[in-house]
């Protein structure tokens, strides 16, 4: 092993010696960063680093001058707690300044506790274990979709890259990772290459306290190519990566590694997982690795060595740019590139709905999907095995399933995998070039919730179709009837919940969700028929664009303002008609989040703060409606679980007929007198 005292002869060292020295420098940089922050993770980064170093230095395809270059390989650090490893690598790439490494985990630094997508060179936000695996796989799905989409327009490969994932024991203990892995195997995603840092250590001790899973056997069963290597052997790592690159299956490289590898006395110690090492241990490690005690020691020679491939990378990017420019001279190709990769949405044509007929909003979603999919070749998605219920069947039939031998298919048969589905579509969206959606029942939004949250944090455009949005589901009973779900989703920051009142609002909400490029959306849709409004599409579109609007006005200033969403908009209209002794305004509020972004003036215009009684009507929990109805208002909702019976009987039972709602309102008015 070379010492820092010999640095003046660096040029004459063997490649192996240069690598070893540079790697040691990087290890101590990580230890120093965590020590200075007095918080963070030391052990895991040191067991993964041999792989990560070789990947970044020798294999990862990227543009050193542009972290957003479209055809770059994606790298996902699913073990997000190993963030200091990623930041150290990015420092060597040239994208992460030293001052930032010294600000690890501090307010407003570019080196937060876990990697965040906003940081240059970070592809996605990780930390919640398991989801990084899914997002990496989702990126690979998007890569395949975009590759196939452009194949039809050009012979040149404009989208052709790998998605590398680095995962840890905890990642693979999370079932969500295995759900996504099952799909990757089924879909034959040969460009997924995952390194598993099998260091057998986790927070609470040795992994054998909680695990005896045979991961290689599991992944073989999931149709992955499996290699088991010594995760600290550079040549074994190179061989494994090269093999994984040509195998026509997703690949897992199980790296047998040692926690805190390279430290003076703490190798294998699980206590190193989430703590800075004692300064004595860091000093002793530096001595062992023949480095100076100096903190944040990074000699220029190491950076230059790490970047020795950069000229080749830049040349490759130049070649790609020329190919792209040539392809873009074809008008068809150029139009597709603009719409998909550059994300310029065309103005959309809408499906037609017959005024006054009864149509479930889930059916309106299906019709809208069919119409939009024709105009947006990059709109892709599917259902978690609720295709007939989610009305994505026609889409599936028209565009075909995405399968191993047809990756041009635009429909994903996700199987009963809500959480993997939601996490995968986050990854697809992060990759770019596609607009992904996923469908299931609203009641199962809880299964996907961690991914909805992680999508919102990352500002991804992902469209979640949630049908069967209330007790109106009927016979399936309380397990299938959402109560708290709409409101629970509304509590997620940067997440848009749409509950359209009819077919036309459904189309308008879907379009709005497409336009929200920095936020996930959920479309909450009815199972049961609701009347199609006779308003013009333009009027409805203008209303939806503001999140809430006056749906039906009364003469003079309103005594009562009904605020309804979804299937309760038409109910509110019926109640207003029945109560013709009162001046009643009906407001449709399909999206709280958008409504709250409007000016106070507009909001007061629609829902006056004073002078009228406000009544919310939504077939869900009442908690939260006080925000709009105030202390004297009335919230018509349901605060208990549903029951198994036909929807109409339940409406009767739970007080959701026009007569019952009217009675509740009259009682409330009487109580106030
Ligand atoms: C979903 C989730 N649950 C719990 C945690 C908290 N946590 C962070 S790392 C970790 C386990 C670490 O074990 P491993 O994945 O083997 O990482 P290593 O110790 O090898 O670095 C846990 C439980 C988390 N980040 N995400
Ligand atoms: Mg571990």
pLDDT, tens digit, 9 for 90 and up, residues 223-260: 999 999 999 999 999 999 999 999 999 999 999 999 99
Residue pair 226/181 in contact (Cβ under 8 Å)? The answer is: no
Which residues, 6 or more positions from 114, have their beta carbon under 8 angstroms from its beta carbon?
80, 81, 83, 125, 126, 127
Distance between CA atoms of residues 602 and 595, nearest Å: 9
Instruction: For ligand 1, say whether the CB of 128 is within 6 Å of any of its atoms.
Output: yes
Mutate to test the pocket of ligand 1, among 41, 83, 174, 202 (most ligand atoms within 8 A of CB): 202
Assess whether pLDDT exceeds 90 at residue 673: no
Q: Record the tokens describing residue 521, joined without a space.
A: 């959306």
State which ligand 1 atom lies nearest to the alpha carbon of 130. 1
Distance between CA atoms of residues 243 and 100, nearest Å: 36
Q: What is the average pLDDT across 157-163?
A: 95
Q: What is the average pLDDT across 116-142?
A: 98
Give the pLDDT confidence score for residue 370 in this predicted structure. Answer: 98
Assess whether pLDDT exceeds 90 at residue 154: no
Predicted TM-score (pTM) of this structure: 0.98
Instruction: For ligand 1, say whether the CB of 169 is within 6 Å of any of its atoms.
Output: yes
Neighbours of 660 (CB within 10 A): 16
User: What are the b/e assignments for 336-345, b being 16+ CB within 10 Å?
Assistant: bbebbbeeee
Parallel, antiparallel or unpaired: strands 584-588 and 549-552: antiparallel
pLDDT, tens digit, 9 for 90 and up, residues 20-61: 999 999 999 999 999 999 999 999 999 999 999 999 999 999
Distance between CA atoms of residues 664 and 571, nearest Å: 14
Instruction: For ligand 1, say whether the CB of 273 is within 6 Å of any of its atoms.
Output: yes
Residue pair 306/55 in contact (Cβ under 8 Å)? The answer is: no
Lowest mean pLDDT among 151-155, 412-416, 569-573, 576-580: 151-155
Residue pair 195/439 in contact (Cβ under 8 Å)? The answer is: no
Q: Which ligand is nearest to the CA of 127?
A: 1
Q: Is 344 a catalytic site residue?
A: no
Give the pLDDT confidence score for residue 481 in this predicted structure. Answer: 98
Confidence class for position 153, pLDDT limits 50, 70, 90: confident
Q: What is the average pLDDT across 617-629?
A: 98
Q: What is the average pLDDT across 638-647?
A: 98
Parallel, antiparallel or unpaired: strands 463-467 and 435-441: parallel
Assess whether pLDDT exceeds 90 at residue 652: yes
Residue pair 427/136 in contact (Cβ under 8 Å)? The answer is: yes
Assess whether pLDDT exceeds 90 at residue 220: yes
Give the pLDDT confidence score for residue 558 in this predicted structure. Answer: 97
Instruction: For ligand 1, say whether the CB of 98 is within 6 Å of any of its atoms.
Output: no
Give the pLDDT confidence score for residue 270 in this predicted structure. Answer: 94
Give the pLDDT confidence score for residue 155 in this predicted structure. Answer: 79
Give the pLDDT confidence score for residue 672 in this predicted structure. Answer: 86
Distance between CA atoms of residues 467 and 369, nearest Å: 14
Instruction: For ligand 1, say whether the CB of 203 is within 6 Å of any of its atoms.
Output: yes
Q: What is the average pLDDT across 513-519?
A: 98
Percent above pLDDT 90 for the chain = 99
Residue pair 226/252 in contact (Cβ under 8 Å)? The answer is: yes
Assess whether pLDDT exceeds 90 at residue 539: yes
Percent above pLDDT 70 for the chain = 100
State which ligand 1 atom lies nearest to the alpha carbon of 82. 21
pLDDT, tens digit, 9 for 90 and up, residues 260-301: 999 999 999 999 999 999 999 999 999 999 999 999 999 999
Confidence class for position 118, pLDDT limits 50, 70, 90: very high
Give the pLDDT confidence score for residue 67 in this predicted structure. Answer: 98
Give the pLDDT confidence score for residue 309 in this predicted structure. Answer: 98
State which ligand 1 atom lies nearest to the alpha carbon of 168. 15
Confidence class for position 661, pLDDT limits 50, 70, 90: very high
Q: What is the average pLDDT across 124-153?
A: 97
Instruction: Report which DSSP code applies to 279.
Output: H
Q: pLDDT averaged over the chain?
A: 97
Assess whether pLDDT exceeds 90 at residue 408: yes
Assess whether pLDDT exceeds 90 at residue 576: yes
List 418, 505, 593, 618, catalytic entry: 418
Q: What is the average pLDDT across 300-305?
A: 98
Confidence class for position 342, pLDDT limits 50, 70, 90: very high
Give the pLDDT confidence score for residue 465 in this predicted structure. Answer: 98
Which residues, 6 or more positions from 302, have their beta carbon under 8 angstroms from its beta carbon?
18, 21, 22, 25, 26, 92
């Amino acid at each position: 092993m070379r010492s820092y005292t010999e640095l003046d002869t660096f040029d004459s060292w063997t490649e192996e010696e240069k690598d070893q020295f540079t790697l040691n420098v990087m290890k101590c940089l990580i230890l120093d960063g965590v020590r200075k922050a007095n918080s963070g993770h030391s052990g895991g980064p040191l067991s993964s680093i041999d792989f990560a170093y070789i990947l970044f230095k020798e294999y990862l395809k990227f543009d050193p001058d542009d972290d957003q270059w479209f055809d770059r390989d994606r790298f996902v650090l699913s073990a997000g707690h190993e963030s200091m490893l990623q930041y150290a690598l990015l420092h060597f790439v040239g994208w992460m300044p030293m001052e930032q490494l010294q600000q690890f985990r501090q307010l407003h630094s570019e080196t937060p506790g876990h990697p965040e997508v906003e940081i240059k060179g970070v592809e996605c936000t990780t930390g919640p274990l398991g989801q990084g695996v899914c997002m990496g796989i989702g990126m690979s799905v998007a890569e395949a979709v975009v590759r196939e989409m452009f194949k039809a327009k050009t012979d040149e490969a404009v989208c052709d890259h790998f998605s590398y994932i680095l995962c840890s024991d905890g990642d693979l203990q999370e079932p969500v990772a295995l759900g996504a892995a099952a799909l990757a195997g089924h879909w034959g995603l040969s460009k997924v290459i995952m390194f598993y840092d099998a260091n057998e250590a986790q927070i609470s001790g040795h992994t054998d306290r909680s695990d005896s899973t045979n991961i290689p056997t599991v992944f073989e069963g999931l149709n992955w190519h499996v290699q088991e290597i010594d995760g600290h052997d550079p040549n074994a790592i190179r061989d494994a990566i090269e093999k994984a690159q040509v195998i026509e299956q997703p690949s897992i490289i199980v790296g047998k590694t040692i926690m805190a590898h390279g430290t003076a006395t703490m190798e294998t110690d699980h206590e190193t997982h989430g703590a800075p090492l004692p300064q004595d241990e860091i000093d002793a490690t530096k001595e062992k690795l023949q480095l100076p005690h100096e903190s944040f020691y990074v000699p220029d020679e190491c950076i230059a060595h790490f970047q020795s491939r950069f000229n080749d990378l830049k040349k490759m990017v130049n070649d790609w740019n020329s190919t792209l420019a040539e392809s873009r001279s074809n008008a068809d190709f150029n139009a597709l590139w603009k719409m998909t990769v550059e994300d310029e949405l065309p103005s959309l044509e809408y499906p037609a709905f017959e005024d006054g007929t009864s149509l479930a909003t889930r059916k309106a979603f299906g019709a809208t999907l069919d119409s939009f999919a024709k105009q947006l070749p990059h709109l892709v998605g599917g259902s978690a095995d609720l295709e007939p219920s989610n009305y994505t069947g026609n889409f599936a039939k028209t565009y075909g399933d995405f399968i191993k031998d047809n990756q041009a298919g635009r429909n994903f048969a996700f199987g009963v995998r809500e959480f993997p589905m939601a996490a995968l579509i986050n990854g697809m969206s992060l990759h770019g070039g596609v607009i992904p959606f996923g469908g299931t029942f609203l009641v199962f939004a809880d299964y996907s919730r961690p991914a909805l949250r992680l999508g919102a944090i990352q500002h991804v455009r992902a469209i979640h179709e949630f049908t069967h949005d209330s007790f109106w589901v009927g016979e399936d009973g309380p397990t299938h009837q959402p109560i708290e779900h709409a409101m629970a989703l509304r509590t997620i920051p940067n997440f848009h919940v749409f509950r359209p009142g009819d077919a036309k609002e459904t189309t308008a909400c879907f379009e709005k969700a497409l336009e929200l490029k920095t936020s996930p959306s959920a479309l909450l849709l009815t199972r049961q028929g609701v009347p199609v409004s006779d308003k013009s599409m333009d009027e409805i579109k203008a209303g939806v664009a503001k999140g809430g609007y006056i749906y039906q006005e009364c003469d003079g200033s309103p005594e009562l303002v009904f605020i309804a969403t979804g299937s309760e908009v038409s109910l509110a209209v019926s109640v207003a008609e029945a109560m013709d002794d009162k001046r009643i305004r009906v407001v449709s509020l399909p999206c709280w989040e958008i409504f709250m972004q409007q000016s106070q003036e507009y909001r007061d215009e629609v829902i006056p703060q004073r002078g009228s009684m406000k009544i919310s009507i939504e077939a869900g929990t009442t908690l939260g409606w006080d925000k709009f109805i105030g202390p004297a208002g009335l919230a018509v909702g349901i605060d208990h679980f549903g029951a198994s019976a036909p929807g109409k009987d339940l409406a009767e039972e739970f007080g959701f007929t026009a007569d019952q709602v009217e009675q509740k309102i009259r009682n409330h008015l009487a109580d106030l007198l």
